[in-house]
A = this chain, B = another copy of it.
C-alpha cells in the first residue's frame, strides 16, 4: 500500500493543498481555495477546507495521514511552526502551526515556501539525489532554498536563506528601499514587484522607454514587458537588464563560491520568463564564481514548477526523509 502525505502551499491569495505519494512525489489529488480574509483564524479555516477537500478527493482523511507540511512565503521560526513575518498575509508572529494542528488534528510542520520547493526539487525534481543544491528563485520576490550535506538548512533561528535581503550596493545606482523597510536589499532591485514599481516610476517621470508600449498600460508594467522591450532593442530595457542581471549573476556566483553546490536550480516567473535576463545573469555567474567551485556545478531549471512547493512541504511534514527533521 502506498504512503500518502499532505502538503500545503499557503500563498497571499490562494491556498493549494495536495495529497502526495511519498514514494514517487506524484500529486494524487489537489484542491485550491481563495482566501476570503487574511486573519490567521480565517486562513486556518481556509487551509483546513482545502486539506479536507484534497484528502476527500484521494479517498482518505487528514487524520488517517496524521501529518501535514505547509510552505509559506515568509519567515518561519524553525520547529515551532510560528510564522515570524509573512508580508503577503500581513502576519507577524502568528503560531500558525499550532492553530492548524488544533483545527485538523494532525501534526503540522511549517516551513518557508522556498525551503519546501527546494526539498521537492531535491526529492523528485531537478536536484534529485543531490546533497548540495541551491534553489534560486526570482518571482515577485527573490528567494533561496538551501540543501546542504543532504539536509534542508534552516539555520539556528529557522530564518536562513533570506537572499532577497542581502545588501548589494550597485555602482551608480540610487539606493532603493525594500519592502522589509531596509535599504539596499537585493530584492529592492531585482524582485519582480519592486522592478515593476521602479519602471512605473521612471515612466511617470517621463523616461524614454518602449516598456510602456510593450505593457499596454502602466498597470501592466512588469518584468515581462521589460523583456519584450529588451528584445525590441529598447535602450532603457537593455540598461535595466544589464544592471539587474549583474546583481543576480553576481549573487549566484557568490553563493556558488561560498557553498560549492553541485546543482543550482533556477526558478520563478521573472528569471524563467525572461530569457535575456537569465542569459545575462548566467554570464555573470560564469565569470564571477570561483573556478574550482564552478567545476562541480550544473545550472538547471526547476523541474516541478507548480508542484515543488506542495511536494516538498508534504515530505518535510511527513518526515519522509528523516535527516530533514533532525536539522538543529
Contacts from A to B (Cβ < 8 Å): 75, 84-85, 130-132, 144, 146, 148-151, 153-163, 165-167, 169-172, 180, 182, 184, 250, 253-255, 257-262, 288, 290, 292-293, 295-297, 327-328
Contacts and interface: CB of A to CB of B under 8 A. Distances in A.
A75 B131 contact: no
Given A159-B293, A162-B292, A255-B258, 12 more contacts: A131-B156, A131-B328, A146-B258, A150-B328, A155-B259, A156-B262, A157-B293, A161-B260, A162-B290, A165-B290, A167-B253, A171-B172
Contacts of A258: 144, 146, 160-163, 166, 255, 258
A161 B292 CA distance: 12
Interface centre among A151, A154, A254, A260 (most CB of B within 10 A): A260
Nearest to A153: B148
A12 to B, nearest CB: 19
By CB atoms of chain B within 10 A, which of A149, A159, A293, A295 has the most? Answer: A149
Contacts of A154: 260
20 contacts: A84-B292, A85-B292, A148-B148, A149-B151, A149-B328, A156-B296, A157-B296, A158-B260, A159-B290, A159-B292, A159-B296, A160-B260, A160-B293, A162-B257, A162-B260, A163-B257, A163-B258, A165-B257, A165-B290, A167-B253
A259 B149 CA distance: 14
A165 B131 CA distance: 23
B131 A250 contact: no
Contacts of A328: 131-132, 149-150
Nearest to A292: B159
Contact of A156 (B132, B144, B182): B132
B295 A160 contact: no
A293 B169 contact: no
A84 B130 CA distance: 23
A293 B162 contact: yes
A31 B32 CA distance: 68
Contact of A292 (B75, B132, B167, B172): B75
B167 A155 contact: no
A144 B257 CA distance: 11
A151 B328 CA distance: 10
Given A250-B167, A290-B165, A261 B156 contact: yes
Contacts of A259: 146, 153, 155, 160
A190 to B, nearest CB: 15
